[in-house]
Chain A
Amino acid sequence: MYQEIEPSDSNTQEVLTLETAVDNLKQKEDLGKRYYAAWWLGKFRVTEEKAIDALLEALEDSENRSSDGGYPLRRNAAKALGKLGNTKVVPALIRCLDCDDYYVRESAAQALEMLGDKQAIAPLMKFLTLMVKDGELLSLAMETVEDKPHLREPYEAIIEALGTLNASEAIPFIETFLNHSFAKVQYAAARAMYQLTQDSEYGEILVRALEGDGLQLRRSALMDLGAIGYVKGGNAIAETLAENSLKLISLKGLLEYQVNQDSQSDITVSSTSHQLMDLMDTLL
């Protein structure tokens, strides 16, 4: 979820303006242009009402279909709306959580996380409550869709969103996902549990994940630790077997958290901030 999906068709990589992007998005002839325009509006944070309205329209598009029946334009529109900070789109994004395209649901959950509107908590939580019975996670939550690499629902994005939205009512449900068979879902649960409880037990789950096999999983844990600003993880992050670029992004997340704490106690540069920056300096 950290990689920007950029359209690969170089013919459509043109320079747009607010006007041409909105026009391109609204026309129906060239689907490639619509797809690119939706991405472009998000990328360049175009927050004008016109752009928002055109993206809302694209969110209900049924013309642009992928070979597996998905809705690529809706996915891009949802992603863009997440970046534009206008919460009037929240109800439309909530409706996208019922779309039959998994990736539209995932993009919508991510966008709802970014917009930070609490209205999204109940509809997101519904996905989790359905999968927990007598405090146990149902095996259905761990099944992948036939012929697809993904689970039935985008649990990773849903759980991360609930953590960011500070949905403490979701704690008992998120906790059961710590036992999920997918490592990335476990990490999402640990990340959200830490955000909701500030209990270092959950931060340490992610720190241990930094030593795991598989670069993708270590990268994922790096990003999670950065997102929650788990300051105690600084040294472990610096020592992780992964690219310095990612370690720096992760440490930046910790530093931002710590500087925010410092500013509340009116310290110029706290020793913890100083240590984090010393670590960052060694990775340049």
Chain B
Amino acid sequence: MNQNYLPNHEKLIEAVNLADSADKLLDAVEALAEIRSIEAIPTLIEVLGYNNPGAAVAAVEGLIDIGEPSIPCLLESLDDYNYGARAWAIRVFAGVGDPQALNLLLKAASSDFSLSVRRAATRGLGFIRWSKLPPSKVHETQELILDTLLLVTEDGEWVVRYSSIVALEQLALTVTAEKIDFDQRIETRLKELFNDDPEIAIKARIKLALVKINTIKNTNI
């Protein structure tokens, strides 16, 4: 970044508040998201409720980049949100992988009305930051996630099933506790789905997942 010009978050926030067209709002939100400042969090969260998809995408990306500090604030805002804003919030939770939002992700992955929310929440379940959980809780949480993901492999939308394969792969690659049982359950389900699923893309992603899981297994032995 140019050292002579350090963006000032207050100016950027003001630009978001003053934007009087969709294009200006998008530019202002992108600029604010880019500074990755915790000062930007409340404004970015507000943008999720504006019913402007372009700006919301930029705000979601900004909040994910800021990461964990945005989570408590966002959890607090949820009650005031309409459906659309909640859906954007779920994407932030999925992208950050903070266990504080785990229950919301589990629920959204298995039962949200919108397939793109189920898709994002499902992927998020594979990328939870285990280091943020107390060690005593890790194993039962992983079990809970595995049960939900196995259920999501039966979703009616191909893209949600695709997401569940990516998440299961990630779980198999990162989970350490009781690994053998875990891997076996994941592999068994993936092979089953490979035989049952009519979608070429699903079969292809399962093949890739099995190759990746087996490569890791062989290097660990």
Spell out A's residues near B (CB within 8 Å): 241, 243-245, 248-249, 252, 255-256, 259-260, 268-269, 273-274, 277, 280-281, 284
Q: Which residues of A contact B211 (CB under 8 A)?
A: 268-269
Q: Which residues of B contact A277 (CB under 8 A)?
A: 204-205, 208
Judge if B93 is at the interface, Cβ distance under 8 Å: no
- Across chains A and B, which 6 residue pairs bring their CB atoms closest together, nearest first? A284-B123, A256-B200, A252-B201, A284-B163, A259-B204, A269-B208
A145 to chain B, nearest CB (A): 32
Cβ contact within 8 Å between B207 and A269: yes
Closest chain A residue to B54, Cβ basis: A241
Q: Which residues of B contact A260 (CB under 8 A)?
A: 200
Closest chain A residue to B203, Cβ basis: A259
Q: Which residues of B contact A280 (CB under 8 A)?
A: 162, 201, 205
Closest chain B residue to A244, Cβ basis: B116
Cβ contact within 8 Å between B200 and A245: no
Closest chain A residue to B211, Cβ basis: A269
27 residue pairs A–B, Cβ–Cβ below 8 Å: A243-B53, A243-B116, A244-B116, A245-B115, A245-B116, A248-B159, A252-B158, A252-B159, A252-B201, A255-B200, A256-B200, A256-B201, A259-B203, A260-B200, A268-B211, A269-B204, A269-B207, A269-B211, A274-B208, A277-B208, A281-B166, A284-B120, A284-B122, A284-B123, A284-B159, A284-B163, A284-B166
Judge if B119 is at the interface, Cβ distance under 8 Å: yes
Cβ contact within 8 Å between A259 and B205: no
Given A256-B200, A259-B200, 11 extra CB contacts under 8 A: A241-B54, A252-B158, A252-B201, A255-B201, A274-B208, A277-B205, A280-B201, A280-B205, A284-B122, A284-B159, A284-B162
> Which residues B189-221 have CB closer than 8 A to chain A?
200-201, 203-205, 207-208, 211
Closest chain A residue to B53, Cβ basis: A243
B115 to chain A, nearest CB (A): 8
B137 to chain A, nearest CB (A): 26
Cβ contact within 8 Å between A284 and B119: yes
Interface string of B110-149 (1 = CB under 8 A from A): 0000011001101100000000000000000000000000
Closest chain A residue to B205, Cβ basis: A277
A1 to chain B, nearest CB (A): 20
Cα distance, A249 to B201, chains bound together (Å): 10
Cα distance, A259 to B207, chains bound together (Å): 11
A261 to chain B, nearest CB (A): 12
Q: Which residues of A contact B54 (CB under 8 A)?
A: 241
Most chain A CB inside 10 Å of its own CB: which residue of B115, B122, B162, B201? B201
Closest chain B residue to A270, Cβ basis: B204
> Which residues B153-205 have CB closer than 8 A to chain A?
158-159, 162-163, 166, 200-201, 203-205
Q: Which residues of B contact A284 (CB under 8 A)?
A: 119-120, 122-123, 159, 162-163, 166
Q: Which residues of B contact A256 (CB under 8 A)?
A: 200-201
Interface string of B85-119 (1 = CB under 8 A from A): 00000000000000000000000000000011001
Q: Which residues of B contact A248 (CB under 8 A)?
A: 159, 162
Cβ contact within 8 Å between A268 and B200: no
Q: Which residues of A contact B166 (CB under 8 A)?
A: 281, 284
A169 to chain B, nearest CB (A): 30
Q: Which residues of A contact B116 (CB under 8 A)?
A: 243-245
Q: Which residues of A contact B207 (CB under 8 A)?
A: 268-269
Cα distance, A249 to B122, chains bound together (Å): 18
B82 to chain A, nearest CB (A): 19
Most chain A CB inside 10 Å of its own CB: which residue of B53, B158, B208? B208
Q: Which residues of B contact A241 (CB under 8 A)?
A: 54
Interface string of B44-72 (1 = CB under 8 A from A): 00000000011000000000000000000
Closest chain A residue to B202, Cβ basis: A252
Q: Which residues of B contact A259 (CB under 8 A)?
A: 200-201, 203-204
Q: Which residues of B contact A269 (CB under 8 A)?
A: 204, 207-208, 211
